Structure 1
Amino acid sequence: MEEIKFDFEDLKVYQKTLDYIDFVYNLTDKFSKHEQYGLISQFQRASQSIALNIGEGYGETKPLFIRYARISKGSIRECVVCTTIALRRKYITIDENIESRKRLAEISKMLAGLVSFVKLKIAESKNN
């Protein structure tokens, strides 16, 4: 049977976000179990929110997509805070902290580029 794909699944930023979710799950597997309903849950949900908002917003109007992309960027900042807390609690290493931040910075730049492209398309459509 043929696999059904949605347009947003081909976005590189979406694929990078899925990779980051896997990264977060691997990190949080090592956290203290008493964090199951605290930092583990928050970190996993924040990472998921990046991808969820990309997927949800991509099928909407261009201005609405920009709004969802901004929400994704907020979730990126939330992941930065979760990373910092995890480092301070010694749940992750300095290298894992650096890797998390690199990935988040890359996703953030990709989202910013996509938003710029969408804004350009909005401006072009107003001029035509």
Structure 2
Amino acid sequence: ISNSFPKDETYNLVSQIRRSTLSIPTNIAEGCGRNSDKEFNQFLNIALGSATETEYLILLAKDLNYLNEENYLLLDQQINTIKSKIYTLKNKLIQQ
């Protein structure tokens, strides 16, 4: 969807959205390779931060009229699903 944003946003908002979304699974994967649940949990916290950043950036894109309401709602739902899954995983780590 970010391909449809204005070209002058390529190195600004588009780049930031792509970095924050890429950071979510990257931190989860890196955390999986750590030696303890405590370390893994820290990487899940970072992934949640990136997900929240992405959530804000898509709201900003909507406010700037780069996203229509339908696309915004779809992306917002998807990012909130991801955040919910990360929270669930964090809670399972804590309960162990």
Shift of 1:84: 1.1
Partners of 1:53 and 1:115 in 2: CA distance: 13
Identical positions, percent: 25
Q: Output the TM-score relative to the length of structure 2.
A: 0.95
Match of 2:2 in 1: 28
Comparing 37-46 with 76-85, greater Cα deviation is found at 76-85
Shift of 1:118: 1.0
Larger Rg: 1 or 2? 1
Partners of 2:90 and 2:52 in 1: CA distance: 17
Partners of 1:112 and 1:85 in 2: CA distance: 24
Is 1:52 the counterpart of 2:26? The answer is: yes
- Unpaired runs of 5+ residues, structure 2, are none
Match of 1:110 in 2: 85
Is 1:90 the counterpart of 2:62? The answer is: no
Q: Output the TM-score relative to the length of structure 1.
A: 0.72
Partners of 2:91 and 2:63 in 1: CA distance: 35
RMSD of Structure 2 on Structure 1 (CA) = 0.7
- Unpaired runs of 5+ residues, structure 1, are 1-26, 122-128
Match of 1:99 in 2: 74
Shift of 1:80: 1.1
Partners of 1:101 and 1:64 in 2: CA distance: 28
Q: Deviations over 1:27-73 (max 9, x none)?
A: 11100010011000000000000011000001112101100001111
Instruction: Could you list the structure 1 runs, at least 4 aligned residues long, displaced by more than 6 angstroms after superposition.
Output: none
